[in-house]
Amino acid sequence: MKLQVQRDVEPEPRWPAVIALLCVGSLYEVLPLRLSIAPRGVLFGVICILLVPTIITHQTGHHDWNKFFGYLVIFIETVAMIASVILLVAALPTHKETPITLLRAAGSLWLTNVLVFALWYWRLDAGGPHIRDQRPFHCNGAFLFPQMAMSAEDRARTGQQDWRPGFIDYLFLAFNTSTALSPTDAPVLSPWAKLLMMLQALTSLTIIAVLAARAINIL
């Protein structure tokens, strides 16, 4: 009788996503009050409050509640970011904000755009981080990462036999989408992912257009 040996797969650390959530709240504090939908410190406080049950439900194994609080905090950040982008565009022709203030706000929102959509991709792809942790190898998802196209021999030779995408992989994907306005190393397979990437590219293009318009106006 043959014994089947199953290797333990180490779960993905959650601290990069937690840091990204806190960074979004910190970047929002840089915005002037005219470009914010909440008083200073409110969004960061809400994020910190929601992170407590998010972390507790993860540690105690209540994964459905963990997904709920995870979706909720990212949704709140997304709404705040999109509202501020709209306010940024509306503030451009009024000349009420100084050029330095507008440029700083646009840069903050651009970075926020990268982090927010990286969090969405990380939370939604292939059932989320908890479901991905249950699989010995990531072979099916909304994005075709290069490791997924490698043969079993190539993965074993390069030490990628247990590879699964982590938050940094989704951050790299989101960064490329905001800079190149398209995916680079990972083709998009799922309709929901294509819609999210369209929204991210549109948001990034809007912010870049504001920066260009402000620069032309200064010249």
- Structural contact between residues 101 and 210, judged by C-beta atoms closer than 8 angstroms: no
Q: Residues with Cβ < 8 Å from 124, sequence gap 6 or more?
A: 142, 192, 193, 196
Domain encompassing residue 141:
15-218
Could you tell me if residue 7 is inside a domain?
Answer: no
Q: How far is CA 7 from CA 4, 80, 108, 147, 160, in A?
A: 10, 43, 43, 20, 14
CA torsion sign, 109 to 111 to 117 to 120?
negative
Could you tell me if residue 158 is inside a domain?
Answer: yes
Entry pTM: 0.87
Could you tell me if residue 148 is inside a domain?
Answer: yes
How many C-beta neighbours within 10 Å does residue 186 have?
A: 23
pLDDT tens for the chain, residues 1 to 219:
333 334 456 777 788 999 999 999 999 988 888 888 888 889 999 999 999 999 999 999 899 999 999 999 999 999 999 999 998 888 877 777 777 888 888 889 999 999 999 999 999 998 888 888 887 777 788 898 888 777 777 777 777 777 788 899 999 999 999 988 777 778 888 899 999 999 999 999 988 887 766 655 654
146: DSSP letter: G
Instruction: Give me the number of domains the chain comprises.
Output: 1
- Structural contact between residues 130 and 104, judged by C-beta atoms closer than 8 angstroms: no
Calpha distance 46→79 (Å, rounded): 13
- Structural contact between residues 204 and 181, judged by C-beta atoms closer than 8 angstroms: yes
Could you tell me if residue 4 is inside a domain?
Answer: no
